Structure 1
Amino acid sequence: MSEPRPRADGRAGGGPDGATDFPTRLTKLVGVRHPLVQTGMGWVAGPRLVSAAANAGALGILASATMTPAQLRTAVREVASRTDAPFGVNLRADALDARERVRIIVDEGVRVASFALAPSRELIAELKDAGVVVIPSIGARRHAEKVAAWGADAVIVQGGEGGGHTGSVATTVLLPQVVDAVDIPVIAAGGFFDGRGLIAALAYGAAGIAMGTRFLLTSDSTVPPAVQARYLEASVKDVTVTTKVDGLPHRMLHSELVAALERSGRTVALLRAVRHAASFRKLSGLSWSRMIREGLAMKHGKDLGWGQILLAANTPMLLKASMVDGRTDLGVMASGQVAGLIDDLPSCAELVDRIMAEASRARAALPG
């Protein structure tokens, strides 16, 4: 991707020399103005949100797991048509077509590739050889050490407060562990929504913060208004962790559907998963044999049973029901705990400007 150019609205484009009060290893590495990342949320982080985040000076990341390769290429080109700033694409490292998607990223000049799971050494090397910055998301120190040894340029560290699939270790415990363990830039995720959090993360040694729920709750987000309203109404206690969606710990808003899932037995859950697998197969264009191969890829190197893999078919369709179709009664709403602290829907530009102003005030208020 070429060096970011000044924007049409007169604000400086992101870049190593772009104006920022908080230059960090992250801003220098990827060429953004502010050490903020909008995470790649499935069905949420589409071209509109990603380009708005990028134009605001943050690193916007496009979610590709629910897209076909052709849809991914179209989405990348749409983002590029909306912004001259750097942006990224989030990939599933265990997807059978991961290399095809990597080729799209390289061909289209995307600046950053992020991963929800640790990519292979070979995939990292292929991206880096093409000049793409590689930033995996990890949830444990040993995973950070592994991808750093394989050549990752930075890592996003998500603590247990984060939305979606999550671990049990809080950000305030996990972040310093990872910062002390690796020499590459560390981006903190899980529990961040304002400038005070940015200053706290920088004090821990992070190079920036990544936020999902906070960017989901902006006026640039395509999430239906009725769903955003549910987030804004939620208290901290309304955000729960359940394993009933796909067999793995998943943080989301508590709802009638979540309660029903937790009451249902394994047989009912598996039957529901089969129906959702059939729906996702039709939506994605995958054959049953391809889906079985994807399941085998998920099993590789992991202690997962076939029942758990089948349950994983719940996730994309249950998320689509809420995040695209607006059916809070039929879908799940992945959420960080910070949903209970958010009460407005600013634009991405307003949000980023506010966070950076808050960070400046918080820094100035520190003793000395």
Structure 2
Amino acid sequence: MKTKITEMLGIEYPIIQGGMAWVAEHHLAAAVSEAGGLGLIGGANAPGEVVREEIRKARELTKKPFGVNVMLMSPYADDVAKVVVEEGIKVVTTGAGIPGKYMGMWKEAGIKVIPVVASVAQARLMEKSGADAVVAEGMESGGHIGEATTMTLVPQVVDAVSIPVIAAGGIADGRGIAAAFMLGAEAVQMGTRFVVSKESIVSQAYKDRVIKAKDIDSTVTGMSHGHPIRCLRNKMTREYLKLEKEGRPFEELEYLTLGTLRKAVMEGDVDNGTVMAGQIAGMVKKEQTCKEMIEEMMAQAEALLGRK
């Protein structure tokens, strides 16, 4: 399927894998790219040299294009911004901030810059600062979220900017992809579905928790202090929401969550860890390879869009 995004990024299918912290490492990124989508290595809070190593390991697994997600609030953002240039990465997505200070360096290196946005105002600002496209991410998604839903955000962003828009949040099958195209998107970004892929390195307990999730199993913590995060309900979220309701200070709540994503992803503690997943988790029912997922979703989307 050809779209402005597949042509811009040199990929076969208009599917981008989210740059999820602790999850989006070289195995997953390479597998998604090999299957015809765009895999991303999640920079998260990792030092530049760790990201460099991940890039080089991914290159051993695929010759196809893949990108890096640069988390702009990371203390290592400056280093990671340089590493992507030095390693010849051609696509960068960004989160948690405005990539303006790196834009000149990235553009000079021929990098396509695609920020994740949660509002029309952010999308316009990113276009003005030189972004090649934007990911309009609705609050259905896992992890850090905004306030608008995908259904309302995507068409408004499409109308507001002239650069291509990628839809994210609540998309996990061909119906979601087809719907995104109807809203004016040129591609989709997905995280939760790829979390349970066979190539994903997350603990089996994390995968099983996502697969067993029901439609009402996600919750949002941190709404009261302006740092909302969507994850699946467990012992940790119950404690967090109780303390949040009591009006406990942000620092105390933040301390409660320190290291909990790693605890769930790497150690399999899905009771006390943070199990980040989108509302669509209730529809994710099985482990598959990235290739099986992408081919299944694209066949369904193409049939719905009348392209087959």
Written as runs of structure 1 = structure 2, the 5 A alignment for 1:19-58 is: 22-58=1-37
Report % sequence identity. 34
Cα distance in structure 2, aligned partners of 1:265 and 1:36: 36
Check conservation: 1:162, 1:335, Cα contact below 8 A.
yes
Give the structure 2 partner of residue 337 of structure 1.
Answer: 279
Give the structure 2 partner of residue 141 of structure 1.
Answer: 120
SS at match of 2:58: helix
Give the superposed CA RMSD. Answer: 2.2
CA displacement 1:156-206 (0-9 Å, x = unmatched)? 110111111112211111000000000111000001011121111112111
Check conservation: 1:39, 1:61, Cα contact below 8 A.
yes
Displacement after TM superposition at 1:315 (Å)? 5.0
Which letter does structure 2 place at the counterpart of 1:336? G
Cα distance in structure 2, aligned partners of 1:114 and 1:246: 26
Written as runs of structure 1 = structure 2, the 5 A alignment for 1:61-210 is: 61-210=40-189
Check conservation: 1:223, 1:324, Cα contact below 8 A.
yes
Structure-2-length-normalised TM-score: 0.94
Equivalent residues, number: 308
Cα distance in structure 2, aligned partners of 1:74 and 1:362: 41
Check conservation: 1:91, 1:115, Cα contact below 8 A.
yes
SS at match of 1:344: coil
Check conservation: 1:246, 1:309, Cα contact below 8 A.
no
SS at match of 1:329: coil
Give the structure 1 partner of residue 230 of structure 2.
Answer: 251
CA displacement 1:199-240 (0-9 Å, x = unmatched)? 111121111000000111111111111111111111111111
Q: How has the CA–CA distance of structure 1 residues 95 and 230 changed in structure 2, closer, same or farther, with 3 Å as cutoff?
A: closer
SS at match of 2:302: helix
Give the structure 2 partner of residue 318 of structure 1.
Answer: 260
Which letter does structure 2 place at the counterpart of 1:28? E
Displacement after TM superposition at 1:102 (Å)? 1.4
Structure-1-length-normalised TM-score: 0.79
**Larger CA deviation: 117-126 vs 101-110:** 117-126
SS at match of 1:237: coil
Query: Are 2:1 and 1:59 equivalent residues in the alignment?
Result: no
Displacement after TM superposition at 1:97 (Å)? 3.3
Query: Are 2:282 and 1:351 equivalent residues in the alignment?
Result: no
Cα distance in structure 2, aligned partners of 1:323 and 1:246: 25
Which letter does structure 2 place at the counterpart of 1:167? G
- Unaligned runs of 5+ residues in structure 1 are 1-21, 270-306
SS at match of 2:156: helix
Query: Are 2:216 and 1:237 equivalent residues in the alignment?
Result: yes
Cα distance in structure 2, aligned partners of 1:191 and 1:266: 27
Displacement after TM superposition at 1:247 (Å)? 5.6
SS at match of 2:305: helix
Displacement after TM superposition at 1:314 (Å)? 5.5
Q: How has the CA–CA distance of structure 1 residues 74 and 245 changed in structure 2, closer, same or farther, with 3 Å as cutoff?
A: farther
Which letter does structure 2 place at the counterpart of 1:327? D
Q: Which runs of 4+ in 1 moved over 4 A?
A: 244-247, 265-269, 309-316
Cα distance in structure 2, aligned partners of 1:100 and 1:168: 31
SS at match of 1:364: coil
Cα distance in structure 2, aligned partners of 1:359 and 1:267: 46
Check conservation: 2:35, 2:294, Cα contact below 8 A.
yes
Check conservation: 2:262, 2:273, Cα contact below 8 A.
yes
